[in-house]
Chains A and B, each alone.
Chain A
């Protein structure tokens, strides 16, 4: 199960999010040709490797944001705001940061041991 780091709410399960598909897709104007329009409507890069896609934290803060994700390992390489440019991944430090040790969860531990 993917653990996605919401830029506002922190690390949450994938079930809290909605996948929005490829990001950075430009919407053509009414003047676009049928071919150009079809390309916008249907054709996607669908990369094997790093994908730049948008996700919505629908159960949390309700914000859309961009995620750079490896579609083979499912590793999340970067999380960045809507409208921002694709990051240079070499530079981005990991989005897979874990939350600090939680007191609440600790007391769950106590409850069990």
Chain B
């Protein structure tokens, strides 16, 4: 296809006319050129209706040429991957693109839901608050939910790759219009590292859409020269088609980078986080529409957008146009259309007086100018057919004649330009309505930010360039050390949109609706209603009418809403206040924000030193506190339960090998090491002899148990603290915090060594025998190496630290070797241990073994409410001399109460029934069912052949042998409360 549409002009536009791109729109095959946006291509092909509105499903056409677009939000599919709500005005045309309209049925040209438009009188703002109460909201909700929602969830395989990037720079310039370009240029000339970010694919901003010369030269040549110098500078980073959407504290900004979204190898989106010393916002301005009856018809377009399509894309918005305005600026649209050969039926100007030059220009072209007139109503369904023009009173509130209908297919509207202050506001900048400029202007900001160009109401090209240049110089030279002081936006370059007179709304004829928010279908009468019901505060108005809450965030409706509100309340706009703009300035893809950090990239899975061995030996790896650990090792034909039981039996009857490397290890060394640990542990530390190991509890200051483990005395000034695996980092930090912040005078050094040492634990009667097979300088004999002691030496030539401690109740040694030697030692132990029937043990069996012993598992058997008295450590605390973390809290009456939930064991009485952790112990027989505690650990004990459990029970210590009712998911079983020690209570096995 060579033709790219009936509305494409013979020449003009910055397109590659030699390259045609074909695409489909709602099934129709169309074509455009390289350089087109989806919107310009649709217009070129004479497509008038592109979407349906949110609430009334009215036909809507392309309204703007930029990110403010409220109508043309389409579903775009590029090689199989569909994305909803794409702004046609921002999406470059891509070969083979499949485009469909959303939120309409059966088609965008005929939408059944249009019925809501005819019932609009019943659907004023907040109608749902007044109705749907009977019988209940649920009766109507699902139907209403189906009507709501603009797009539909993307389908098809999504090949988009997302990446996060970071950037630091001295000066960040947002927006590459003429103001931003000159700011970046001057800043880089002054030697600063500059980053220039532009949301458009091309640099130049509005200047790309105008033929107005700059500084006596064509805007193109001016831009070309500046961009040339910027590209040449190694100081300058330029990001195109990158949208700065978030402005956070300390001058941190975020941006969505779509420059490679049509990358040949598949779409790529980047999320940039930019930290800038100084920020210059050159974010431009957004033209605002006029309000009149049926101002939402296809064919009605912002005047500046009409020029944009004309000059940048060589597209005529229509064949016969009317220009409606309250300022001189829009006259350019009339002139440019006329000069391009498009008929201009009339210029309808709300003002009494028009600047001489433009009037002269108009006369020269023979264009009809109707002063003190407004478009008051329009006709047409899928395309605009005519507009009703009336003479109006000078204040704009009354009609002065019966008007005439002027036929046209395009209506270009303008009520002046409004600065894009969203990012400025996000930065904490205050904005205010300026009556003389008739727009919202930046006021002052606490962050290191400057705002220039149209964004600062500097609408004249030369003043925008001048103020941009000055800001660039100042930013580059501003002293870095200085404290950001609230910085006022400079006002000396400000110039109003030429001769604007803020008549924004035509007098209302009959009850015809005047649209304020096109996307959410909010009309002027909705705002009047809100005011009538006293939702007159800006925040209330916004929420009650939902004006400005649609996906365009009110970029073309907020100001008009304010002016209607001021009209009905009689307060001037300045007094109404504005709503604070929040991130995001434009919607940002979730995937980009996350940088595709899914699966293992979401949270690092940590691997143990002998990981490979476990993987190659059928280990079932589960996540335990971030570590990938074997839950059990499956043998042929086994399921988990069978494997776990087998592993438990192996330890009790023979020998088990278990990797416990994640076990936290912290060395404490120094003159005051013991004194320090004595203040940390509930237990007595100072009395521990070298070579000895002791079990200890750590509390927080509120007396709650936070961790347990053993600590060993290597030498009088050298201790080794073991923490639970899940708490390794936390406790290391905890100790450091107490040392640095509370007791810096204590002379000691803390050194976490968790990852240096792998821990392989042997458990079982023949553990000693196996170790004695190894050449070693450690005497493993029972006499020389008793339970709860520590030895350092070599095993099979390897440096090793051995603690004789037991989590299983069996004779057990924890062998620590340098992590890189763990796998070898593991294999050696497996080989030499074969004769003893050694078996690798997973964590689940390990936990059952400790359950059989009734050993505490902090985090399972305790929660954030458990104190050591509940666990029966009262006597030990009484013996302890001196303060320790949390001790004072234990002295409160509430902490000493014997009615607290205390640590006990449970045995199921009901034969054949199980016991699960998470079940509750309830008062029974129940006068009123009440929980007295809960089962914290439970499982089947292969050794004892029945279900056992541990739990926390009110006054439990005094209730041994009592029979209780255990409740789980409505079922109950009887259980007996016992001391928490089911197997080998005297500890012969582990002490032997």
Q: Give A residues with C-beta under 8 Å from B.
A: 1-3, 18, 20, 27-30, 32, 34, 37, 41, 54, 56, 58, 62-64, 73-75, 77, 82-83, 93-94, 96-99, 101-102, 105-106, 108-110, 112-113
Q: A109-B236, A113-B236 are in contact. Are A30 and B888 (CB under 8 A)?
A: yes
Q: Are B888 and A1 in contact, with the CB atoms below 8 A? A: no
Closest 7 CB pairs of A and B: A3-B250, A94-B483, A109-B237, A1-B252, A64-B740, A74-B249, A98-B480
Shortest A19–chain B CB gap in Å is: 12
Q: Give B residues with C-beta under 8 Å from A.
A: 167-170, 193, 195, 231, 233-239, 248-252, 273, 275, 277, 428, 446, 480-484, 701-702, 733, 736-737, 740-742, 744, 883, 887-889, 891-892
Most-contacted residue by chain B among A27, A30, A56, A109 (CB, 10 A)? A109
> Could you say which of A63, A102, A113 contacts B740, with CB atoms under 8 Å apart?
A63
Q: How far is the CA of A56 from the CA of B736 in the complex (A)?
A: 10
> Could you say which of B231, B234, B742 contacts A106, with CB atoms under 8 Å apart?
B234
Shortest A25–chain B CB gap in Å is: 10
Contact residues in A for B234 (Cβ distance below 8 Å): 106, 109-110, 113
Q: A1-B250, A20-B737, A64-B741 are in contact. Are A113 and B231 (CB under 8 A)?
A: yes
Contact residues in A for B482 (Cβ distance below 8 Å): 94
Shortest B16–chain A CB gap in Å is: 24
Contact residues in A for B702 (Cβ distance below 8 Å): 41
> Could you say which of A82, A97, A108 contacts B237, with CB atoms under 8 Å apart?
A108
Q: A1-B273, A58-B733, A108-B167 are in contact. Are A41 and B889 (CB under 8 A)?
A: yes
Q: How far is the CA of A37 from the CA of B168 in the complex (A)?
A: 46
Nearest-CB residue, chain A, relative to B739: A64
Q: Are B238 and A113 in contact, with the CB atoms below 8 A? A: yes
Contact residues in A for B480 (Cβ distance below 8 Å): 97-98
Would you list 17 pairs from A and B whose C-beta atoms are within 8 A, ordered by A residue? Answer: A1-B252, A1-B273, A2-B250, A3-B251, A3-B252, A18-B733, A20-B741, A30-B887, A34-B892, A41-B702, A73-B446, A74-B249, A75-B483, A75-B484, A94-B483, A98-B480, A112-B237
Q: A30-B888, A30-B891, A41-B889 are in contact. Are A101 and B237 (CB under 8 A)?
A: no
Q: How far is the CA of A113 from the CA of B239 in the complex (A)?
A: 8
Nearest-CB residue, chain A, relative to B191: A101
Q: A64-B737, A101-B170, A113-B234 are in contact. Are A27 and B742 (CB under 8 A)?
A: yes
Contact residues in A for B248 (Cβ distance below 8 Å): 1
Shortest B161–chain A CB gap in Å is: 18
Contact residues in A for B733 (Cβ distance below 8 Å): 18, 56, 58
Q: Are A106 and B193 in contact, with the CB atoms below 8 A? A: yes
Q: How far is the CA of A57 from the CA of B737 in the complex (A)?
A: 11
Contact residues in A for B887 (Cβ distance below 8 Å): 30
Q: Are B235 and A29 in contact, with the CB atoms below 8 A? A: no
> Could you say which of B233, B273, B740, B888 contacts A82, with CB atoms under 8 Å apart?
B740
Shortest A71–chain B CB gap in Å is: 12
Nearest-CB residue, chain B, relative to A94: B483
Q: How far is the CA of A63 from the CA of B275 in the complex (A)?
A: 24
Q: A82-B744, A106-B234, A112-B238 are in contact. Are A101 and B889 (CB under 8 A)?
A: no
Nearest-CB residue, chain B, relative to A31: B888
> Could you say which of B237, B277, B428, B742 contacts A98, with CB atoms under 8 Å apart?
B277
Nearest-CB residue, chain A, relative to B253: A1
Shortest B887–chain A CB gap in Å is: 6
Contact residues in A for B170 (Cβ distance below 8 Å): 98, 101
Q: A96-B483, A98-B277, A105-B168 are in contact. Are A113 and B237 (CB under 8 A)?
A: yes
Shortest A67–chain B CB gap in Å is: 13
Contact residues in B for A37 (Cβ distance below 8 Å): 888-889, 892
Q: What is the interface of chain A mostly: helix, strand, loop, or mixed? A: loop
Q: How far is the CA of A98 from the CA of B482 in the complex (A)?
A: 10
Nearest-CB residue, chain A, relative to B483: A94
Q: How far is the CA of A111 from the CA of B888 in the complex (A)?
A: 59
Nearest-CB residue, chain B, relative to A23: B741
Contact residues in B for A1 (Cβ distance below 8 Å): 248-250, 252, 273
Q: Are A56 and B737 in contact, with the CB atoms below 8 A? A: yes
Shortest B155–chain A CB gap in Å is: 34
Contact residues in B for A73 (Cβ distance below 8 Å): 428, 446
Taking A3-B251, A113-B236 as known contacts, 13 extra A-B pairs with beta carbons closer than 8 A to each other, sorted by chain A number, are A20-B737, A30-B891, A34-B892, A64-B736, A64-B741, A75-B446, A82-B740, A82-B741, A93-B481, A96-B483, A105-B168, A109-B237, A113-B237
Q: Are A101 and B483 in contact, with the CB atoms below 8 A? A: no
Q: How far is the CA of A74 from the CA of B169 in the complex (A)?
A: 21
Nearest-CB residue, chain B, relative to A66: B741
Q: Are A30 and B883 in contact, with the CB atoms below 8 A? A: yes
Q: Are A74 and B239 in contact, with the CB atoms below 8 A? A: no
Q: How far is the CA of A29 from the CA of B882 in the complex (A)?
A: 10
Q: How far is the CA of A96 from the CA of B249 in the complex (A)?
A: 12
Contact residues in A for B701 (Cβ distance below 8 Å): 41
> Could you say which of B249, B250, B446, B888 contacts A32, with CB atoms under 8 Å apart?
B888
Q: Are B741 and A109 in contact, with the CB atoms below 8 A? A: no
Contact residues in A for B236 (Cβ distance below 8 Å): 109, 113
Contact residues in B for A99 (Cβ distance below 8 Å): 168
Q: How far is the CA of A79 from the CA of B238 in the complex (A)?
A: 35
Contact residues in A for B231 (Cβ distance below 8 Å): 113
Q: A1-B273, A62-B736, A97-B480 are in contact. Are A112 and B249 (CB under 8 A)?
A: no
Contact residues in A for B169 (Cβ distance below 8 Å): 105, 109
Contact residues in B for A28 (Cβ distance below 8 Å): 888
Contact residues in A for B238 (Cβ distance below 8 Å): 112-113
> Could you say which of B239, B252, B741, B891 contacts A112, with CB atoms under 8 Å apart?
B239
Contact residues in A for B250 (Cβ distance below 8 Å): 1-3, 74, 96
Shortest B446–chain A CB gap in Å is: 5
Most-contacted residue by chain A among B168, B195, B248, B887 (CB, 10 A)? B168
Q: A41-B701, A73-B428 are in contact. Are A109 and B235 (CB under 8 A)?
A: yes
Shortest A111–chain B CB gap in Å is: 9
Contact residues in B for A108 (Cβ distance below 8 Å): 167, 237
Shortest B734–chain A CB gap in Å is: 11
Q: How far is the CA of A17 from the CA of B49 in the complex (A)?
A: 53
Contact residues in B for A74 (Cβ distance below 8 Å): 249-250
Contact residues in A for B233 (Cβ distance below 8 Å): 113
Contact residues in A for B744 (Cβ distance below 8 Å): 82-83
